[in-house]
Amino acid sequence: SQECADQGDLTAVYVSDAQFNRNIFFDTSPQAVSLYLLYNHWAMQMIVYVFIFVDLALALFEDPAVIPMPIWGTSLVEMICLIVFTARLFHYAKVIPRIRFWKDPKNICIIVIILLSLIDIIIYGSLKSTGYNAVRWSRVLRPLLLVNVTEGRQLRRAFRSIRNALPQILYVFFLFMFSMLLFSLMALKLFGKRNLFTVDGEPYFTNFLDIVFDLYVLVTTANSPDVMMPAYNYNSFFALFFILYILINTYIFMSVFLAVVYNNYKKHLKEEVRQLVKSKRQKMLRAFAVLQQPGSGEELVVSQENWNQLVHLVQPDISNAHRELLWSISDDCNKSHIGKLAFVQLPDLLNIQVITMKSRPHPLHIWFPLLYDSSVSRLLRHAVKHKAFVYIYDLIILVNAIFIGLDEENPLIAYAEWAFLALYLLEILLKLYTWEPRAFFAKHQFWNWFDSVIIVAALVGAIVNLCIKSSDGYTSRQILDIVLILRVLRLIRVVDSIKRFRTIINTLIKIGPTILTFGQLILVVYYIFAMVGMELFKEKVKYLEADSTDPYKDSCGTPLLRGTTFAKNNYCKNNFNNVVSSFILLLELTVVNQWHDILSASVSHVSARLFFVFFHIVVVIIIINIFVAFILEAFFVEYTVEKSDLQTSLEKKIEELELSVDKYLLQKQLSCPFFCLRAQQSVHGFKAVWLYNNLFHLFFSGYKTVDGLLQRMFEADLSLEDADDMDDPNFSNITFDSV
């Protein structure tokens, strides 16, 4: 029995690894398996991310700091983080075979990062305590932890995509540089000898390297008319030179960059997803090998009982209705056992989001049946369910928008605000009266949660504000800010009423998780650039408050910037003096505009130029283009790709079960629970199903994971090959080193 439990654990681990695309070759001994389960526990993963976050956040407290802390304090915290990472690594070493551990570059990376950080802490501490100057160079390595932890799969994949696209990007980049150099040479020859001057009185286009830099900035459009004006003022024909330059380098080459990045990104992602699908199959075949029993004929099968146990182990919170639905899809012919092919589908089935929901009577209906069923109450509920109710509230929101735009210090407007708040509260209460509260606040009812949280928060804020005002006699600016923001956020709800907007918003929400991966990618790159930038440029530019007595207050605390555009435009706060302002500065550089002005503030000229050009190439040309490529691809998928086979068979099965949607209810929206209103919401189309004498609803709403979305992207190309894999006679004999 113990052995059985162990075997169950093992297969459950295989299935959940397949489901979440984990690729860890763990030891299959019972101890290792239970350690592995612990390793994958969400709490353990959470701890790792919390400590990575703490480690990264240390930059706020280290010199140059936002909030200064003594060196021993930050060092201590960093040591604790390093200990946690080491412990996590030890845990990992216990889970997988030793040889695997040392072969994995991820682990080597983490070990190197930990060791280098330790060395750096010691050197820095001892140098500082003896009064020497020192640089915390190991901070550049910190964000690499995000990439190298076991959970950073998505991020690693993004980095691999970039690395693979790099050669192609480089060829285009060299051609682009060549074109830029030719234009620079031409500019030198055409304008250099003409004694022209820029607005600042500098000689115009006389130094080759300056020209190259100016023309590079022109590609980013940041100095667009300025760089042209002296030549254009001299002779209108010279505008032709710049028009040609912009056409070729800004429009054509930048589009070619996007094309190359997009094309390569797609190609390599496809390859990666193919590998994922393959290894998922392998894991499921290993799980099958553990559970298999001889069936009728030669076929090996898995019984329904074993399958149920397995699903229960993998996903303990799955509802019976959901599990039975999945089984009935797998066991198409009702044989109460399934073969290899059907078994392998399990992780995909589990990855399809099916929302189960009990359809309960309204509590008021139980407590006060007569009152709740009275004709007035019925009329009220009917009214709330009517379309007009939605329209009326859309109108109220629009009127509210106008009131928000008016001056809130006018007492009339302030009173109106209370009236609006009351109206919104009334709306929520009416809806709660009409629909069953637990259904109204179900996990997937995004807009209900959104409305309620915003309204309740606004109410609390308004009351707190009122209290403070009546007690102290003045308004707290912070709380008022929050109240005002909440007021504006309320208006977002209008979007949900317009169908065309909903589809666009839903697509955006779908690709949300992947945008988070890009967020991590940007974080890693920004952090590295911020650390380097802080070491190179800190305190070169100072932001001085208005009451400062510094003689160079108007030129950012340095005589070098007196009279520059930088100082004139009040850009002093755009500096590398702490990690927060560094990040904001890097964002401004990503947006590109004025970046040449921002960089001109850095006193060390050449290193600043190199730093910024390199940043531009990495972030704007590569990462932003990959971001655009991903959004393009995601939108195309949403617009064009058909539902996957599994999705269709799920829907078919739901209909086959003859527990079909009560269409009358859905159309009339009479006694249907609230979410029926949103029935057409999803791009895939929801399905509301009465199951087990009206006790359950099953919703079907697409894929849970990013990998699911990715696999769906390339499904058309993959399905055929995968079928080949299944026929491959060697396929079921694949062995791992760890087996």
Residues from 571 through 630 that contact a second copy (CB under 8 A): 571, 573-574, 580-581, 584, 587-588, 591-594, 598, 624, 627-628
Helix axes 625-640, 512-537, angle to 10 degrees: 180
Which residues face 293 on adjacent strands? Answer: 301
Q: Which of 36, 61, 262, 527 binds a second copy (CB under 8 A)?
A: 262
Interaction mask 550-569, a second copy, x per CB under 8 A = ------------------xx
Buried b (16+ CB within 10 A) or exposed e, 526-538: bbbbbbbbbeebe
As given in the structure block, the two tokens for residue 504 are: 């666009």
Residue 252 is a binding residue for a second copy (CB under 8 A): yes
CB nearer to a second copy: give 366 or 515: 515
The stretch among 218-226, 364-372, 375-383, 648-656 that binds a second copy (CB under 8 A) is 218-226
- Pick the closest to residue 324 from 16, 15, 687, 657 (CA basis): 657
CB nearer to a second copy: give 171 or 368: 171
Which residues face 700 on adjacent strands? Answer: 354
Q: How far is the CB of 199 from a second copy (least distance, A)?
A: 5
Size of the site for a second copy (CB under 8 A): 83
Q: How far is the CB of 601 from a second copy (least distance, A)?
A: 12
C-alpha distances out from residue 385 to 429, 431, 435, 662, Å: 13, 8, 9, 17
Q: How far is the CB of 182 from a second copy (least distance, A)?
A: 6
Q: Which of 178, 446, 664, 736 binds a second copy (CB under 8 A)?
A: 178
The stretch among 133-141, 259-267, 524-532, 707-715 that binds a second copy (CB under 8 A) is 259-267
Q: Which of 263, 320, 336, 667 binds a second copy (CB under 8 A)?
A: 263
Q: Going by C-beta distance under 8 Å and a sequence separation of 6 or more, which residues neighbour residue 105?
A: none
The stretch among 246-254, 314-322, 340-348, 685-693 that binds a second copy (CB under 8 A) is 246-254
CB nearer to a second copy: give 369 or 405: 405
Q: How far is the CB of 576 from a second copy (least distance, A)?
A: 14
Q: Going by C-beta distance under 8 Å and a sequence separation of 6 or more, which residues neighbour residue 366?
A: none
Calpha distance 424→306 (Å, rounded): 51
Answer yes or no: are the C-beta atoms of 582 and 59 closer than 8 Å: no
Peptide bond into 369 cis (omega under 30): no
Calpha distance 109→680 (Å, rounded): 48
Calpha distance 341→727 (Å, rounded): 10
Calpha distance 206→214 (Å, rounded): 12
CB nearer to a second copy: give 19 or 625: 625
CB nearer to a second copy: give 477 or 663: 477
Buried b (16+ CB within 10 A) or exposed e, 296-324: eeeebbbbbebbebbbebbbeeebebbbe
Residues from 625 through 684 that contact a second copy (CB under 8 A): 627-628, 631-632, 635-636, 639-640
- Residue 59: DSSP 8-state: G
CB nearer to a second copy: give 255 or 336: 255
CB nearer to a second copy: give 306 or 582: 582
C-alpha distances out from residue 631 to 72, 266, 347, 531, 637, Å: 45, 12, 26, 29, 10
Helix axes 375-385, 411-434, angle to 10 degrees: 110
Q: How far is the CB of 30 from a second copy (least distance, A)?
A: 48
Q: Going by C-beta distance under 8 Å and a sequence separation of 6 or more, which residues neighbour residue 590?
A: 619, 620, 624
Residue 419 is a binding residue for a second copy (CB under 8 A): no
If you count them, how many residues does the chain have?
739
CB nearer to a second copy: give 444 or 573: 573
CB nearer to a second copy: give 111 or 484: 484
As given in the structure block, the two tokens for residue 102 are: 């040392």
Residues from 219 through 238 that contact a second copy (CB under 8 A): 221-226, 229-230, 232-233, 236
Q: How far is the CB of 501 from a second copy (least distance, A)?
A: 5
Q: How far is the CB of 498 from a second copy (least distance, A)?
A: 8
CB nearer to a second copy: give 134 or 246: 246
Residue 405 is a binding residue for a second copy (CB under 8 A): yes
CB nearer to a second copy: give 217 or 344: 217
Residues from 451 through 510 that contact a second copy (CB under 8 A): 481, 484-485, 487-489, 491-492, 494-495, 500-501, 504-505, 508
Calpha distance 303→290 (Å, rounded): 12
Q: How many CB atoms lie within 10 A of CB 240?
A: 11
Show the DSSP H helices in 105-141 as ranges: 105-129
Q: How far is the CB of 572 from a second copy (least distance, A)?
A: 8
Q: Which of 250, 353, 359, 564 binds a second copy (CB under 8 A)?
A: 250
Q: Which of 72, 90, 132, 174 binds a second copy (CB under 8 A)?
A: 174
CB nearer to a second copy: give 364 or 485: 485
Buried b (16+ CB within 10 A) or exposed e, 372-403: beeeebeeebeebbeeebeeebeeebeebeeb
**What is the per-residue DSSP string for 541-570?**
S----TT---TTGGGTT-GGGTT-HHHHTT
The stretch among 42-50, 121-129, 154-162, 260-268 that binds a second copy (CB under 8 A) is 260-268
Q: How far is the CB of 530 from a second copy (least distance, A)?
A: 14
CB nearer to a second copy: give 95 or 556: 556
Q: Which of 44, 47, 258, 428 binds a second copy (CB under 8 A)?
A: 258
The H or E element that residue 175 is part of is: helix 153-191
- Residue 688: DSSP 8-state: -
Interaction mask 524-553, a second copy, x per CB under 8 A = -------------------x----------
Q: How far is the CB of 172 from a second copy (least distance, A)?
A: 6
CB nearer to a second copy: give 92 or 242: 242
Q: How far is the CB of 42 from a second copy (least distance, A)?
A: 28
Residues from 183 through 212 that contact a second copy (CB under 8 A): 185-186, 188-190, 199, 208
Answer yes or no: are the C-beta atoms of 356 and 696 closer than 8 Å: yes
Q: Which amino acid is at 478?
A: Q
CB nearer to a second copy: give 430 or 508: 508
